[in-house]
Structure 1
Amino acid sequence: MPGVEDELDEGFEAILGHLKEARGFDFTGYKRSSLMRRVRRRMAQVGFEGYTDYLDHLQANTDEFARLFNTILINVTAFFRDPDAWDYLQSEVIPMILAERGPGDQVRIWSAGCSSGEEAYSLAIVFAEALGMEEFRQRVKIYATDVDEEALAQARQASYPEKAIDGLPESYVRRYFERQGDRFVFHKDLRRSVIFGRNDLVQDAPISRIDLLVCRNTLMYFNADTQADILRKLHFALLPRGVLFMGKAEMLLSHSRMFDPVDLKHRVFRKVPNAPLAGSLFGHHFLQDRRGEPGEADELRALAFGVTPVAQIVVNSGDLLILVNQQAQQIFGLSDRDLGRPLRDLEISYRPVELRGYVEQVRNERRALRVKDVEWQRGPGDMLALELHVTPLISASDEPLGVSVVFHDITTSQRLIAELANANRQRESAYEELQSTTEELETTNEELQSTVEELETTNEELQSTNEELETTNEELQSTNDELQTINNALRDRTGELDDLNEFLESVLTSLRAGVIVVDREMRVVAWNAGAEELWGLRSDETEGEHLLNLDIGLPVAELRPVVRPALADPSYTKDVVVEAVNRRGRQVTIRVSCGALRNRRGHSTGAILVMETAGALSAVSQTATEGTSGRTTPDRP
């Protein structure tokens, strides 16, 4: 139904016209298919089916424009997106750019379509790695532009979530980011070298004198005519040896003669200066007016020379500037005060080209010379392409009088030739692209058919998995009940153990005698109140310490031969009487009973020492006589 399609197209064009007139955003150069698909997506989100109704809604609600704008512009970006291409840029391209510039020369970079700033800050990182922090701050300026003001506002904050920097090397995160809460902020000192601003590649003038221009995966959103126009702007923005870094989705540059490929795989190109336009030679013939007076003819010659639209100067045989027309004065900043001055003293002698050598060559060879391919950066964003015609001036008597230099401005002509050549190349590649697109569509159709079959298989697998999950859920529920029962039993057992520990602690506390329990390594594991009363050390000061290392009044070194056998023999017991100094500093006689600490299996796991104060010195003496060492009592049966 052509009538319905025309109506739909008119409604869609009306929306684009409103965005251009009311908001200043020209989307007419974008690809219609993808543009319509995104507008329809936004219409579905707010519940409109017709373009006319949605246009009324767009005009009545000022907030709707921002939502539509964000839907149209898909801001997909990341730090070092396509790592292989960035590795090539860092290892090959950046050293090449820096090698072609002096150590103090400024490096100007343009990130076109920078979105939320990840690409611009990636450029800052790789140049800071190449130059060092200090030199980067002094030499590098990065201009990052986009049409989305919301994305630019986010880029200026330079604050990113942890997910955005997950793929970065740890060294980069440490050197170039500062953590603030749950976000990472790009280094403030380096951020001053990155300048964000709004620039519409379709409507606005490009930034000029750029060494490296990064425009990745941006051209693919535009139609062929708009792409060609943007490419001309990017070509103009670059310096004669400037580098263009594109995205892997862009293919047109491989057919363009405006840029030479440096590496097609990674989409790195170099600017090709435009071929000069062969212009016609404009000779100046001053004819004597036979009908006029000589004075009138001279005046006419002077006037005609002054107003000629082509810049021209004349140098006499003594290399003095004799004549300058108005066009040369305007272009090169000359004035009447410069007449009669030596050519070598004037700026025009070496800018835009070293002129004195050509003048001398023409004077010596007595023949005209044409100098091509002269590019002159007259000012910011003002590049001129010139062609010089240097002609000797010979008198009627064959004497050299001077040299005429004519400067032809061929900037516009070169641009037109480049545009025509590019248009022709695009027409030649159109058929190839169309054929390639047809083949891609056929392949896509086959892939879609295969995908449908895979989805059907996946659906069956998911159904089977769901049944398995239900079975697993029942098993987990049963296991959970069992764990709950075990948990209750463990809770009861814990209570019993607490009661038992409390009972054992009460027993040790109730004993008036000092009790020390050691493990097989002779480290103290129990120290009761009686031992604390005898030796003045608390249990928390002794537990875990080696018995023989305790600094108390008891001569613990003498207990080694008593305790050692108890650690090996579960049935071992022995008493010993020793002289000691209690916690009050008084000399006391102590009876130490040592026995093995046995487990349920009857094995020795340590030793128990029970210490009591002896009743009388005579008993001590008698015990010392009967003992094997003079200080010990007989073993207990």
Structure 2
Amino acid sequence: MQPTDPHFEALLTYLKEARGFDFTGYKRSSLMRRVNRRMSQIDVSDYADYLDFLQVHPDEFTALFNTILINVTAFFRDTDAWDYLRAEVLGPLVAAKPAESVIRIWCAGCASGEEAYTLAMAMAEVLGPDVFRDRVKIYATDVDEEQLNEARQATYGDREMQAVPPELQERYFEAAGGRFTFRKDLRRSVIFGRNDLVQDAPISRIDLLTCRNTLMYFNAETQAKILNRFHFALNEGGVLFLGKAEMLLSHSNLFAPMDLKRRVFRRAMRPTPPPGGLPAGPPSLVVAPVTHLDQLRSEAFAANPLAQLVLTSDGLVAITNRQLEKVFGVSSRDIGRPFRDLDLSYRPVELRRHIEQAQVERRTVRISDVEWSRSGGDLIHIEVQLSPLTAADGSLLGVNVIFHDVSAARRLQDDLEHANQQLEAAYEELQSTNEELETTNEELQSTVEELETTNEELQSTNEELETMNEELQSTNDELQSINDQLRVSTNQLDEANSFLEAVLTSLQAGVAVVDHDLRIRMWNRRAEDLWGLRSEEAVGQHLLNLDIGLPFEKLRPLLRSALTGEAGEADVDAVNRRGRAVLVRVSCAPLGGRDGGGAADEGAIIAMEATESIGRPERV
């Protein structure tokens, strides 16, 4: 046994008291591993600190429960086991039930609903959809409300539907928008609800109970408690279908294996003592009339050595006897009083809710091991039996309450236990060997369950990684599309720049493009040849600061007009890069904005063409 951490146990107690989730029956190794995983995600290393964190951040409960409750399930999980169930269990189960009777199925730990709908499809295949709707009720329960809400939607994606054969998909699911929804007419037979296997009462009168890969998360003591509830829930001959890691080797008194490999078990009958009583004698030949029957019945009831009380259906005291007055002080004087007004209604034990239970369920209710201190100070042990009294037509007449003094039986039981202890001591060596073998078997079983639990966790993690991978793949596809668009835009821009460069190079005139502040943005090859200034030296410089042979003081009015949106040209005397005097025709035009307007929002274009004094263009 792994030593328990008191801080971890305090955390489990807080979860139970604050939110009603009782994890105290879970195996500590896997439970601590999952809690530690959640703590590492929020960078908390101590259980006490994590408890404080939960108190301050109520939203953390949801994330913690989603981490603890590993909801790994699938349609037709372990196909071989489902094939056996359909072939060897469902058919005989239907045949054994009376015609038109309801078949009740309990799917415990249903998670997101795939197993419950698998049961629905399997039963519909055996009975046919019409009979299924009329006769089958599937109760699907889980402790996780979030998973139950998802199960109620009955809608699944392509990944979940991969395990469903195509012919069953066609018959039982409706496809829409890339999702598959279980048939609504059959969906009404599947009832979802919250049920905690550790704390809540089981569903009764069940013919088939599936609880697959759920018990392995609990310790041995809690498993035994749950299996006892399953035994109570199942009808005589009912079938229990478990997961592949759950063996039930130590619970043969509750369930007998039908197929141990596939983990299918049948409810075992607990031995009951044969009914006692003496055989009836031969009938009397002479039947004499009996008189004073009412007086005899009244006196017999009053003289009963057991304390006895009869209540009406309205809860009024109807009949008492002498032993009841002797033990509890309730006598004929209390006849007609409401029972709830008597001390006996709540002391030595609360009887009112048990009386109501006997009336509602129309069955005998027993309350065992009740301690009562009599007036003399003696402590006695009582067993209370509450039986509903009904008329011939089935209507409720009242409730009969009998108090059995079992003190002597309790002493005998204590003596018997003492004798058993002495007997056990005599066989201690043999029992020790047997216990060692059982311990070894339990350890092996525990190892199998732990490995299966780890496999469930890995499968859950794998599903999360697959989801993340799909999201990353989608993001990568979007980035690739954007990259392709950028590549196309870049190519178009390169083509435009190349085309513009070719155009400017082909011009016979030198061209300079300036912005609104007269800083040069472009300087073509002919301008380089004319003035001897390279493009990288000119671009970015202020036009009027260039050391070239142009008389800028004569060009200022022309440039100012171009920047205000008015084109113009002028002939000026200049000196080219060879130092020769040339006549230069300068044309200035506004560089319009992106809206195509006439104003020189972007600057101006300056074209410079040099001619000799005789008027012929100079060859540069």
TM-score normalized by structure 2?
A: 0.49
